Structure formats: C-alpha cells, structure tokens
Structure 1
Amino acid sequence: MTELVVTLDLDGVTDKAGLMDRCARALRLPDWFGRNWDALADSLGDHTVWPEGAAERGLLLVVRGWRPFAKARPDEWETAQEVFAEAADRTPALSVALALGGSSE
C-alpha cells in the first residue's frame, strides 16, 4: 500500500497566518488547531488528526509553491522547515518533500 499524498500548496502565501491556514486546509486539521508552530508540530506528529487512511498507509506531505514565501519570509520559512524536519524525524509514517518547479517563481 502506498503512502497517502497530500499537497501543501503555498502559492500566494505571504505570511505565517497564510501558511497555517494552508496547512489546516491541506491536512484537514480540526477547528481547534492553534495555528502556531507548536500546534503544527503536534498535528504533524499526531496520527489521529491526519486525513483518513494516512495513519495506516503513511503520509507524504508535498510542499509546492514555497519559494516566494521563503524569499519573502526567510525566518518563518526556516522555522517551517525545522518543524517539518523534526516532525518527520519523530514520526516514521510521515515524510515531507519540497517540490521544485511547478510554481510561479
């Protein structure tokens, strides 16, 4: 069985709030998702809030359209990468991939 692939499209995202909103939408996080770095890390590591079927199959989060955000908000992008990397390191069923190409930059 292959991993469930979820695309996190950051095209047009200009700030942390936008990134958190896109994460919440892409991962179908619950309404109580706190929209901060700690809440994102907790959600990425919590199989119970993952999309249906992801806990059994594994979850591949593909981040696309990230370059403009990284350029506009380098500190926030660095933190986002750290959160993604630490969550993937702690959670064997989670993989995060940064897509190259396919964005407006």
Structure 2
Amino acid sequence: MSEPRAPQGQAAAVRFLDLDGVADKAAFMERCATVLGLPDWFGRNWDALADALADPGQWPDSGRGLVLVVTGWQAFETRGPGQWATARDVLTEAVRRRRGSEAPLTVALGLV
C-alpha cells in the first residue's frame, strides 16, 4: 500500500487518534490536542476543534495533507452516542472544508 499523498506529491502526515478509554467530551478533546500537537491555548470545544482541523497550519508537519486514523470510536460511540455524533459531524465537515486543497484532510475510521 502506498503512502497517502497530498496533491503536490508530498506524503501526508499520518496521526492515530485512539479513543480507547475516552468516556466524554473532555477526554476526547484532550486526546485530540495531544495527537495533533495543538497548542496549550486550544479551546477544547467543538468549534475550536473544527477550526484546528480546518487550519493546516495547526497540523503536525503543517503544509502537507493529514490522514487522521480514528480507532476505538465504536466504544466511544456506545459510551456517549451524542458526543460521538457531534465528533463525527465535526470531522466530516473538516474533511469537506479541506477537500481539493493543497493540504487535504482524510479521516479513516479503524474497524478494530
């Protein structure tokens, strides 16, 4: 399997968002902040996450595409279906906003 590539041919950065043990929004936001290397001033709310995902300048290895592989989401969905629905909507919208750009966002849901 080849590496995911941004349109300009550079390999996209790949980060794994493991939601194992994440039980609520606060833990989800903390996990996102850690995995994405977001600054301390990251607001840890849905709007702040949407803004961070839409801004490749805040991504690891900024300027390239980003592939975010989400694992453990099924258990998070079971524990907090409303929180997962919101998270999924935020991720989907961020992907849509970056589609066709020089630094696209791809979100892959792991099925393990």
TM-score normalised by the chain length of structure 1: 0.91
What's the counterpart of residue 99 of structure 1? 110
Q: Deviations over 1:31-69 (max 9, x none)?
A: 1100000000000001111112x422x100000011111
**Which residue of the other structure, out of 56, 63, 67, is the alignment partner of 1:55?**
63
SS for the counterpart of 1:13 is coil
Hey, what does 1:64 align to over in structure 2?
Answer: 71
1:37 aligns with 2:83: no
- The code of the aligned residue for 1:34 comes to G
1:55 is paired with a residue whose SS is coil
Deviation at 1:3?
1.6
Unpaired runs of 5+ in structure 2?
1-9
Amino acid in the other structure paired with 1:96: V
Q: Aligned residue for 1:87? A: 94
SS of equivalent residue, structure 2 residue 41: coil
Moved over 3 A (4+): none
What's the % identity of the aligned pairs? 55
1:3 aligns with 2:12: yes
Residue-by-residue CA offset, 1:78-104 (whole Å, 9 max, x unaligned): 000000000000012101111001xxx
| TM-score calculated relative to the size of structure 2 | 0.85
